[in-house]
Amino acid sequence: DAKTTQPNSMESNEEEPVHLPCNHSTISGTDYIHWYRQLPSQGPEYVIHGLTSNVNNRMASLAIAEDRKSSTLILHRATLRDAAVYYCILRRGGTSYGKLTFGQGTILTVHP
């Protein structure tokens, strides 16, 4: 599976936008880019995913570089509840099993 690289930690202030970067230079054409987050003492939670085009949902936006070698998860207005570990994951397309390989993720701290 192709690997992703994320900063170990980032900090933000409440109500400000947050841009979480992810590098995946060895991504293949069939790899989907997934983001999950894990709040303290909880299981991981799906945030967003995309293949080639930018994506928006109620939680966040996903900006994918034109060459697909990097992507950015955008939280438009961070709240204290967004403090979590954010995982950027590549899932190989072409199979129906949905195997995900988690890295170390980015610890996001949100300051009041």
Partner 1 sequence: DAGVIQSPRHEVTEMGQEVTLRCKPISGHNSLFWYRQTMMRGLELLIYFNNNVPIDDSGMPEDRFSAKMPNASFSTLKIQPSEPRDSAVYFCASRGQAQETQYFGPGTRLLVL
Q: Which is nearer to partner 1, 18 or 89 (CB)?
A: 89
Taking CB under 8 A as the rule, which mask of x and - marks residues 47-66 in contact with partner 1? --x-----------------
3 makes contact with partner 1 (CB under 8 A):
no
HEC assignment per residue over 40-69 = CCCCCEEEEEECCCCEECCCCEEEECCCCC
13 makes contact with partner 1 (CB under 8 A):
no
The single residue among 42, 53, 67, 112 that binds partner 1, judged by CB under 8 A, is: 42
Phi-psi region of 15 (alpha: psi -120 to 50; beta: other; left: phi over 0): left
Task: Supply the minimum distance, in Å, between the C-beta of residue 84 and partner 1.
Answer: 13
CA dist 23 → 39, 46, 64, 67, 111 (Å): 22, 19, 10, 11, 26
24 makes contact with partner 1 (CB under 8 A):
no
8 makes contact with partner 1 (CB under 8 A):
no
